[in-house]
Homo-oligomer: A and B are copies of this chain.
């Protein structure tokens, strides 16, 4: 049969069985290394169990996310994986109503739609900023994504504030710059405005390595010594981060593993196996390199 080149019609099969072998995945940007890694882990994990990934990219816009989810759900996926945990009410309702296994990735929440696998963005950011404080930084800037539309980055902002308050530094919101997107140039714009407004900064926490890369470039341009004059810390430990000049201090998160674990959770649910926990903490690790001062 296979010799004749027969390819079974999975659409008909899906209709008949009222369940497909498709899992929907929604990420803000496929291009972003962090999400790409998670999708890779997810795809590989699912493939072994015979599932395909139906991919959607929201651009980080909640309303877009809703539209995409509606479409993807129309294809009656057996499960759904999504980045983050802050969705519109309509989205949440849609997800609940779909009545399929759902994994929210990259964050931890006590109220997942169904399951979540990630790490504490707040604690990770607090740890990173805490390290900068421990090495003597007192005036620390922050570059984040628009916090209204990005729960992980709003958590990182909270972690930043936590670390400051812990040592009695009051949070100055003018030290926070919002980057428009996850591109090098978006980071440059944000960092430049921060550096213009606050020449007295002695630390800069960039909630994405790509912006830390922008920061290093901007500092080079302005003749600011890193870390002597300004400590720079990133987030994600992307592959290039150790190769920047200076090598970047950052927070390492198990990106591929997050996707792989999401796949396991979905598959387990689909085969009626028990789930260890609705919430899986994959942890994080502070990677100390040369863009921050050494701990004394």
Contacts and interface: CB of A to CB of B under 8 A. Distances in A.
A37 B31 contact: yes
Given A15-B11, A240-B243, A30 B20 contact: no
A54 B72 CA distance: 10
Contacts of A36: 30-33, 36
Contacts of A201: none
A8 B15 CA distance: 13
Contacts of A68: 47
Contacts of A74: 7-10
Interface in A227-273: 238-240, 243-245, 256
Contacts of A47: 56-57, 68
A132 interface: no
A272 to B, nearest CB: 22
- The residue among A7, A20, A22, A44 with the most chain B CB atoms within 10 A of its own CB is A7
B30 A52 contact: no
Given A30-B43, A31-B40, A7 B239 contact: no
11 contacts: A7-B70, A7-B74, A9-B76, A10-B74, A10-B76, A22-B54, A29-B40, A30-B36, A184-B243, A243-B245, A244-B244
Interface of A: 5, 7-12, 14-15, 20, 22, 25, 29-33, 36-37, 39-40, 43-44, 47, 50, 52-57, 68, 70-76, 93-94, 97-98, 183-184, 210, 213, 216-217, 238-240, 243-245, 256
